[in-house]
Amino acid sequence: QSVLTQPPSASGTPGQRVTISCSGSSSNIGSNTVNWYQQLPGTAPKLLIYSNNQRPSGVPDRFSGSKSGTSASLAISGLQSEDEADYYCAAWDDSLKGVFGGGTKLTVL
């Protein structure tokens, strides 16, 4: 059971906009920033969003993040087939532990 809650799956068609939610508590998302990671099959995770809504260099602006209260969201606009991957949210907890969501498998139909 992961500390952060994500839907196990999401899907969309090419060109569509999809969002993935991440729910936490006051001790993690509520008081710390959120990161998002993309993991393509058979590869290491890649940082997609940090500090709630910041994109590392090289990440397309189709990817955006937001946070409100104890929840966060990742939005992907203009969905492409290469976006098919597992997506994870993560946050620091006030207990000085890192916590991840269980992951969301995104399928591009």
Partner 1 sequence: EVQLVESGGGLVQPGRSLRLSCTASGFTFGDYAMSWVRQAPGKGLEWVGFIRSKAYGGTTEYAASVKGRFTISRDDSKSIAYLQMNSLKTEDTAVYYCTRDPLGGDYWGQGTLVTVSS
Coil/strand/helix, residue 61: coil
Tell me whether residue 24 or residue 45 sits nearer to partner 1 (CB atom).
45
Using the rule CB under 8 A, is 91 a contact of partner 1? yes
Give the one residue of 56, 60, 69, 78 binding partner 1; rule: CB under 8 A: 56
C-alpha span between 83 and 100 (Å, rounded): 20
Coil/strand/helix, residue 20: strand
C-alpha span between 87 and 26 (Å, rounded): 22
Near partner 1 in 61-80, by CB under 8 A:
none
Stretch that binds partner 1, among 11-19, 42-50, 67-75, 76-84 (CB under 8 A): 42-50
Tell me whether residue 17 or residue 97 sits nearer to partner 1 (CB atom).
97
C-alpha span between 78 and 95 (Å, rounded): 38
